[in-house]
Amino acid sequence: MRETAIPLRTPLFRGERRLRIALVGLPGGGKTTLFDAVSSTAPHRGELTGTHRVYRECTVQIGFDEASVVDLPSIHSLHHLQGDDLSALKYLLWGDDRPPVSVHEQSGPPAPLAPPDLIIQVVDATSLQSHLELTLELSQLGRPIVLALNHMDEAAKKGLYINIKALEKLLGMPVVPTVALMGRGIAQLFSAAVSAAREETCPLPQPPSRHIAESLGSLTAALNRPEIHAAFRLPHPLLLMHFAAQDGFVEDELRQHFPELLPQLEALRDAAGLRLPRPLAEELHADRHHRAATLVEAAMRMGSPAETHDWRYWLDELFLHPRWGLIGSLAVFAAVLFVVFEISGWIDSMTTVRLTEAFADWQPQSTGGVVGRAVLDGLIGLVGIVVPYMIPLVMLLVTLEEAGLMHRIAFVVDRGFHQIGLHGGVAVPFLLGLGCNVPAISGAAKATSGRERVIASVLITFVPCSARSAIILALAGKYLGAAGVFGIFALTLVVIAVMGRLLSRGDRELGPGQVQEIPAYALPTWRVLLGETWARTSDILTIVTPLLVGGSVVLALLSHVGADSLINTLLMPVTVWWLGLPLALGVPLLFGVLRKELSLLMIYQALGTQEIGGLLDPVQIITLLLFLTFYIPCVSTFAVMLKTIGRRDALFSVAISVGVALLASGVVRAGLSGVQLLAQ
């Protein structure tokens, strides 16, 4: 296990001290895309007071820090706002703590959220000038600002090259290039935001041009009164610019609260306008437009559109592109399936199958011999889990992580997994579950925490591992055809989706959103590969081994003392009454908690033939397969759940799997039996 020292920067933004970040921007900048990329599985939605403008809010994990991120409605300017747009500005200024000038308003604060500590303005790099005009206005709010220079890929295609350092120096704020749609720069953006908030660095003052500032000298002094600032709680430059531009909101509040001062202030404003070539409001707007154009001229140059790209670019196009990313993910999934059904299957045939055949003739009758045989069966079962499935799949998982592919897959499928209350980081562990649920749950434990870890672990137990898939293919493929195989696998997807929705329903925001870093591509070294594989499997082996061997001994002794008939009788309400299966199948179903392959072999033994189609009708075969598919995967899976989510939640998972197995198989049996009766 590699150990990396990570410096802890203080103060730490967590809990009640979590950072408050507002996402602001013009339409089309990518603000909503950025929020979706870091959002929790179920963000809070609300409307700004007295409007139909929707905002979204959720907690986001940023390293060791947390932030409450608010996606505000798009805003074009801070000047001359009315109605719905004005509420967004009021939130940026005051949040849920209204100033004295608005105490007369009948409605509540614009949103039940504290004002932001920091603003992230999402800017379209292909249309920089219009966005920088808003930047100049936001810089007057007196809060730290970080500029997310989005759509950098589109800017490069158009031959627009922006000098990030120059723009940072001119604005006095961090500027981070991003491509939010593909996850690029998002981790760096929020890291810069946390640093800016920790250092409390506000943008450089962006005063109007010199001739305008001189004309506003008298008005500036007249507005700079303590009672006015106490009433408005606005930074003085912002209050001055809004009154000078004849902003209706500021004028109305001055008229209501300072009627004796308003005539003097209006006279000074009129006098300032007389010294300028155009009306004051027009001059201010033209000046802001000119200063934004000057910033663009200083920080941007035109060139030829980007034409040459290296292999990293094309890999990102495959794995992160909104259209092609899913195809790239499916290609990786196909590689995992190849490992599961081809490589792991071949390793299984060369190890477990040969060990089983080597000791097949040893069938002791004495108690000591039975115990010895049971211990051997348990160890062979352990080899069958670890050698062909656990080690190759864990090595594959580590390879995907170290190469940087897993992070890209997680980003692409993140929104899809939100529908079942999880983040995209569990995508690869879910796929690994097709081989073996044990390394899949271990992988999910690393990618999740808290209640999300429990939900992921429970849902992975419904992913048909290679053993259950083999049973489905062996029986359904032979007696039900391709439609039967497809139907059973399709039902597992439905159950996973439904259970995910139900499990996440109690607490819609299960955990904070995640700022997913997109690392550089890298080739994993053998040292890292073997070290991480050992670190992720060594502890599991110490837990799985005693449970697997112990369970094998207990069940073997029950069979040795002739408890088979007793067990079958005790299980009659399940096997015969509910599932409609022969009484003799009680013990084979029970032995499935060791390994699913044992269930199939014991079913053949209990029925006295491998041609079970003559003893079971299609409805019984479907019922049997569904029960085996959803029933407790195996004792090894239970063991790793004990380690990752604890005893209480592991037992909860067992109860869930038993309940789903009984419900799904029983309901399907009843439905198919009803169809048979109607068809007769």
**Band (512; pLDDT cuts 50, 70, 90):** confident
Q: Is the pLDDT of residue 123 over 90?
A: yes
Region of poorest pLDDT, from 90-94, 407-411, 530-534, 605-609: 605-609
Q: Which residues contact 221 (CB under 8 A, 6 or more apart)?
A: none
d(CA 334, CA 179): 28
What local confidence, expressed as pLDDT, does residue 511 receive? 63
Burial of 104 from C-beta contacts in 10 A (0-12 / 13-18 / 19+): exposed
Q: Please enumerate in sequence order all residues whose Cβ is within 8 A of that of 150, keeping only pairs 6 or more positions apart, or say none.
A: 29, 30, 34, 122, 123, 124, 125, 178, 179, 180
Model pLDDT, residue 83:
67
Which of 93-107, 204-218, 293-307 ranks highest by mean pLDDT?
204-218
User: Average of pLDDT values for 592-613?
Assistant: 69
Q: Helices 647-679 & 635-645, crossing angle to 10 degrees?
A: 140
pLDDT score at 444: 83
Beta carbons within 8 Å of 37's beta carbon, 6+ residues apart: 180, 183, 186, 411, 414, 516
Residue 250 structure tokens: 């500021």
Q: Enter the tokens of residue 636.
A: 């090894």
Taking only the tens place, the pLDDT of each residue in 258-289 is 889 889 998 999 898 888 888 888 898 899 99
Determine contact, residues 618/602, Cβ cutoff 8 Å.
no
128 CB-near residues (< 8 Å, 6+ apart): 160, 162, 296, 300
Structure tokens at 235: 């930074």
User: Does the pLDDT of residue 375 top 90, yes or no?
Assistant: no
Q: 30-34, 248-252, 406-410: which range is least confident on average? A: 406-410
Residue 180 pLDDT exceeds 80: yes
Distance from C-alpha of 653 to C-alpha of 632, rounded to nearest angstrom: 9
143 to 71, 163, 235: CA distances (angstroms): 17, 24, 10
Span 403-413, pLDDT tens digits: 888 778 878 87
H/E stretch holding 357 reads helix 352-358
Q: Is the pLDDT of residue 465 over 70?
A: yes
CB 72 within 8 A of CB 23: yes
How high is the pLDDT of residue 393?
Answer: 74
421 pLDDT tier (thresholds 50, 70, 90): confident
Q: Which residue has the higher pLDDT, 536 or 251?
A: 251
Q: What is the mean predicted confidence (pLDDT) over 30-54? A: 84
What is the DSSP pairing of strand 19-24 with strand 118-124? parallel
Give the number of other Cβ atoms within 10 Å of residue 649's Cβ.
Answer: 18
Least confident of 2-6, 21-25, 438-442, 666-670: 2-6
Confidence check: pLDDT of 190 > 80: yes
Arithmetic mean of pLDDT, 365-376: 84
Tokens found for residue 67: 């932030």
pLDDT recorded at residue 100: 86
- The mean pLDDT of 124-130, rounded to a whole number, is 92
Give the residue with greater pLDDT, 106 vs 177: 177
Q: What is the token pair recorded at 433?
A: 């579950």
Mean pLDDT of the chain: 83
| CA proximity to 136, closest of 94, 77, 213, 80 | 77
pLDDT of residue 485: 81
Q: Does 544 or 588 have the greater pLDDT score?
A: 588
Please name which of 251, 235, 246 lies closest in space to residue 284, comparing C-alpha atoms.
246
Residues paired with 121 in a beta bridge:
24, 147
**Residue 1: its pLDDT value, please?**
43
At residue 453, the pLDDT reads: 86
3-state SS of 461-490?
CCCCCHHHHHHHHHHHHHHCHHHHHHHHHH
- The stretch 406-433 carries a mean pLDDT of 77
653-664: pLDDT as tens digits: 889 999 999 999
Q: Among 179-188, 224-233, 542-551, which is the least confidently predicted range?
A: 542-551
Average pLDDT of 391-418? 80
Domains in the chain, ordered, with CATH? 15-205 (3.40.50.300), 317-512+526-679 (no CATH)
Q: Identify the pLDDT of residue 6.
A: 56
pLDDT of 21 reads 95
Please tell me the predicted confidence (pLDDT) of residue 608.
Answer: 64
Q: What is the pLDDT of residue 308?
A: 66
DSSP structure string for 68-99: EEEEPPP-S-SSS--THHHHHHHHHHHTTS--
Q: How confident is the model at residue 564 (pLDDT cuts 50, 70, 90)?
A: confident
Q: Give the Cα separation of 115 and 137 in Å (integer).
A: 17
Two structure tokens written together for 491: 């039902």
